[in-house]
Chain A
């Protein structure tokens, strides 16, 4: 389906092109509905209040990611996009992941005995430092 997306409008208006577009319109509508459903699902699940925060986060982010793929894949027609674009996006995502992961990781990765102070600061026996 690539050619119809890449703006090779030479054949624009021609019958097969028309069908092509018509088919995409169907896809768009389906995606649209899927997105709405996804939203409703996330919100609904949220009202169930799972015991563990992790589950809530996991589900919410999972659904969000799926929605993101739908938008990027179909609305932004990435699935039929050229590989130059992929190269750019993949490296971007990698660097973003690196930034996020290393930054957050380094927060926990501290010298032995390091403490984050909050007011009030707990006193500590000189004997036992650390968390």
Chain B
């Protein structure tokens, strides 16, 4: 299918939009990269909210297993039936559905679309001085696939049996057997949804790479590209080459679910005392390999665009060039390359021989180095700057240590022997949430505050922004910091009762009471974290209409090309052809009139 749409679309790039276009063509079926970017942004933010709400219900169940969820409990019972949400209490089944979908939605429907598709679509063509993406129609198709995928995923909540229950990792055989009662079960929907989302990402990736290779403005040499574009470029390659294997795996699991094949079902399965009537001969580990072959690159898909945003905003608000631009670029490439050969560090406890384990431990340690380098460069970039503490910058500054913590805690997981104790505990949960939540999400918030004026022509409110920042920062840490302790103590993830089963009783050694009690604090912190978003949501919508109008096209006195366009940029972006004359971060150039010299500014000398 994608073959046709793709090949067909490839060629129909620019009979698009010549005539005066109506509302539908302008806002719904638009091929303008900026509109598509905004479409992606809105949809993704809504999914971010949904992902949060699911998690909020889960957190309640973790803290107060067996108690009805306040406020929404009744609604849940109405929506999902009293067999899974009796009296508004989350049943283990429903919890598992929520858990799987929280992960899936956050990763594939919220953060990636926001970080890669939304910001990438809107900003990259502007930053490289292009009129649009290389294949506008493909771009539109990409969004439509994403939207469809989202619809399918969302719909799966309401089918008999409910949404997928087997974790966002969907390990076989569970994924195939979790819901034997229903032919078209949540897992099937999940797989179909994933195939759509993957297709969307592939179309997007092709488009980004082609655009960056082909449509850079005159003078925009590779090493004059803003780091954000580099990050998106590498990210696109990760999506392009890491996603297809999961698509293949998805197709195979679909076959297992619908046509009774045994790709991931070994010989001799016995469920509830009865032999399962399948041919067998498959391999559960095959699924894990194919999943994590995507899974690990995926996590860098989550972080690289964020690092790109951070670099842009740091340069702009320290009023000086990024320190070590070249090493940033090379590190991004190193990460991209290495992320394809570390995946089995997610499979340390599946039973690994010395050689293979050594290989993956080594690559895992090596890949941590470029991240160290990137973070170090960003830290050092602060030195000697003249730092402006506006809202975007605050979020960016917070990103650095937050990602640092998340990254550092990846190291003990990276060794097979220490992972023995930490695997599948809340230590892992805390590790990656530090990277994606106070890490990536903060960077995305920063990006929203930073580019909002370019998109809408109005600034977002600073005071509300700062409130949003401080509350988010505090509660993020209150949510995730305790999880390290819980994980160290051996509290496992994916437990609807937050590990209550494993409480220490007289006669058996289990979890200390304090560790379990922490669940309650974390849960409340998570709720407050949600409330902390209200200033943002209000600010966001309010500023679209009533925000302070920007006085110039370049409110932040920035150097990169997106600020050389009218505000908001018209269709076709640049009013006059742009040429890049210099690097991306020429701030405080000695002897220059202003403390910023835009890339498009011709040299005085000749």
Contacts and interface: CB of A to CB of B under 8 A. Distances in A.
Q: Do A and B bind each other?
A: yes
Interface of A: 84, 91-92, 95, 98-99, 102-103, 105-111, 114, 116-119, 121
Interface in B279-334: 280, 283, 285-286, 289-290, 293
Given A106-B344, A107-B285, A118 B353 contact: no
Given A103-B289, A111-B352, A98 B267 contact: no
Given A105-B356, A106-B356, A107-B285, A99 B351 contact: no
A102 B267 CA distance: 23
Contacts of B283: 107
Given A103-B289, A117-B268, A98 B353 contact: no
5 contacts: A92-B241, A103-B289, A103-B290, A106-B352, A107-B283
B245 interface: yes
A110 B213 contact: no
Nearest to B356: A109
A110 B353 contact: yes
A95 B343 CA distance: 12
A116 B289 CA distance: 17
Contacts of B213: 84
Interface of B: 213, 237, 241, 245, 266-268, 275, 280, 283, 285-286, 289-290, 293, 337, 340-341, 344, 351-356, 359
A117 B284 CA distance: 13
Chain A binding site: helix, strand, loop or mixed by DSSP? helix
B245 A99 contact: yes
A107 to B, nearest CB: 7
B579 to A, nearest CB: 23
B352 A118 contact: no
A82 B58 CA distance: 53
A98 B280 CA distance: 27
Given A95-B340, A102-B359, A111-B352, 4 more contacts: A84-B213, A95-B241, A102-B289, A106-B285
Nearest to A104: B289
A117 B351 CA distance: 15
Contacts of B356: 102, 105-106, 109
Contact of B352 (A84, A109, A116, A119): A109
B352 A102 contact: no
B268 A99 contact: no
Contacts of B351: 110-111, 114
Nearest to B293: A99
B157 to A, nearest CB: 33
B355 A119 contact: no
A109 B268 contact: no
A118 B344 contact: no
